[in-house]
Amino acid sequence: MSKREILQMFFTTSASFTPRKIFLVMCLGLAVSLIIFFTYRFTYRGVSYNSRFNAANVLILLITIVIMIMISSNIAVSLGMIGALSIVRFRTAIKDPWDTVFIFWSIIEGLCIGSQSFLLAIISALFIAIIAFVFSWHGGLRKKYMLILRGEGLDAREAESLLKGSAYQIRTLDTTGDFSEMIIELSGRPGPDHDLLEQFRRLPGIQTVNCLLESGEMLG
């Protein structure tokens, strides 16, 4: 191979991606991104659902496809893209690991579609979506809650009598003068029992009753 042929290989853009093919690839990417979008929407178990983050996953996938088309069409461009992307730093803190999973999922699906591995992208997207729904459904069956009871003259034995037949454990019982605070861990409940909370509120001396999810998000 001559020097001229090598240079031509670096600077010649491949014509394998016609406008029609690029449009179809982007449409397929949009369809796969919608799978990710609705999976995140219906498997999210937090209190404050972030619609902008979910929409960002769709755009991340489409942008990744564009990058892959650029890289696959020209070797010189691919080397330049590697250098350009290597200096990009994202400093946004992601607190929920579930969000990290969906960002990574969007990038991977974009790489698959951009490299024309269409069958892999479709099958993997459907498979991962099913697994995400299974884990989300299973995780919602058994959860732990912290009941925080505060009041004056709080009787711990009366509080425990309301929990007969439930899986519970008293974490702390603090008493300062006439004021008491009692923290009880409840497990095996898919959600807070509002009737039980109302019974606690009716106990003599109870001032506040709070129910705290194991993840630290306040429910009531």
DSSP string, 143-205: EEEEEEEEEES--HHHHHHTTTTSEEEEEEEEEETTEEEEEEEEEEESS--HHHHHHHHTSTT
CB atoms within 10 A of CB 40: 24
pLDDT band at 16 (very low <50, low <70, confident <90, very high): low
Within this chain, do residues 170 and 81 fall inside the same structural domain, yes or no?
no
How many domains is the chain built from?
2
Q: Is residue 131 part of a domain?
A: yes
User: Using CA atoms, how far apart are residues 41 and 17, in angstroms rounded to an integer?
Assistant: 33
Of 114, 139, 164, the one marking the end of a domain is: 139
122 with 203, same domain: the answer is no
Of 139, 199, 217, 212, nearest in space to 171 by CA: 212
Instruction: Kindly indicate the confidence band of residue 217, based on its pLDDT and cuts at 50, 70 and 90.
Output: very low
If asked whether residues 51 and 84 sit together in one domain, one would say yes
pLDDT at residue 37 in the model? 96
User: Is residue 62 over pLDDT 80?
Assistant: yes
Phi first, then psi, for residue 202 (nearest 5°) are -85, -5
- Answer yes or no: is pLDDT of 22 > 80: yes
Average pLDDT over residues 31-60: 89
Q: Which of 117, 115, 120 is nearest to 72 (CA)?
A: 115
Residue 104's pLDDT band (cuts 50, 70, 90): very high
Same domain, 57 and 102: yes
Tens digit of pLDDT for each residue in 112-154?
998 888 999 999 999 999 999 988 876 555 567 777 888 887 7
pLDDT at 40 exceeding the cut of 60: yes
Computed over every residue of the chain, the mean pLDDT equals 77
